[in-house]
């Protein structure tokens, strides 16, 4: 009986192959883009707003949200009067809190671009980078911590947001 059990465990582990790769440490991401003077710079958003990544020891919402008051004011600015197109609504959850800036990962777009999200519950909106993800248009979206705070949605909620492109 022991031999059968031991053989089945060995065969099971052998069949797993690289599935235990989650136990291996992940390779560190590069330090980021370097300027001509060799200094490491945070990646700039397409609209020029740069938010550094949170520090490794971040534990609170304020520590993870590295946007400045100026960044928030720019993202909260009203949209241009023309050029916006409604993409529909989406249910959004809080995305990767370690990813800085104002963004929405959503299946409502097929290419990256600029847009805006509106929280109908508060009337607040935020200009965001729209980032495509796989899935049907009815699938949910993920929104950045900074944007979630700006539209005054509770971080544990799943708000239904109106999404606009352009503007």
Confidence at residue 167, expressed as pLDDT on a 0 to 100 scale = 61
63 Cβ neighbours under 8 A, 6+ residues apart? 54, 55, 57
- Residue 151 confidence (pLDDT): 97
In this predicted model, what pLDDT tens digit does every residue of 30-44 receive, in sequence order? Answer: 444 444 445 444 444
Average pLDDT over residues 154-159: 96
Percent of the chain at pLDDT above 70? 69
**Cβ–Cβ under 8 Å, residues 132 and 141:** no
Domains of the chain, CATH where assigned: 61-165 (2.40.40.10)
| Contact in structure between 136 and 115 (CB atoms under 8 Å) | no
């Amino acid at each position: 009986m022991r031999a059968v059990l031991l053989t089945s465990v060995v065969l099971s582990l052998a069949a797993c192959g690289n599935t235990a790769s989650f136990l291996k440490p992940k390779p560190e991401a590069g330090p980021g883009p370097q300027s001509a003077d060799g200094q490491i710079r945070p990646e700039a958003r397409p609209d020029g707003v740069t938010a550094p990544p949170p520090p490794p020891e971040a534990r609170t919402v304020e520590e993870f949200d590295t946007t400045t008051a100026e960044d928030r004011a720019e993202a909260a600015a009203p949209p241009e009067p023309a050029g916006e197109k409604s993409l529909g609504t989406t249910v959004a959850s809080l995305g990767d809190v370690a990813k800085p800036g104002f963004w929405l990962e959503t299946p409502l777009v097929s290419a990256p671009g600029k847009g805006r999200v509106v929280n109908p519950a508060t009337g607040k909106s935020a200009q965001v980078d729209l980032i495509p993800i796989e899935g049907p248009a009815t699938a949910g979206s993920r929104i950045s911590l900074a944007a979630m705070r700006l539209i005054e949605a509770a971080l544990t909620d799943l708000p239904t947001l109106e999404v606009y492109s352009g503007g």
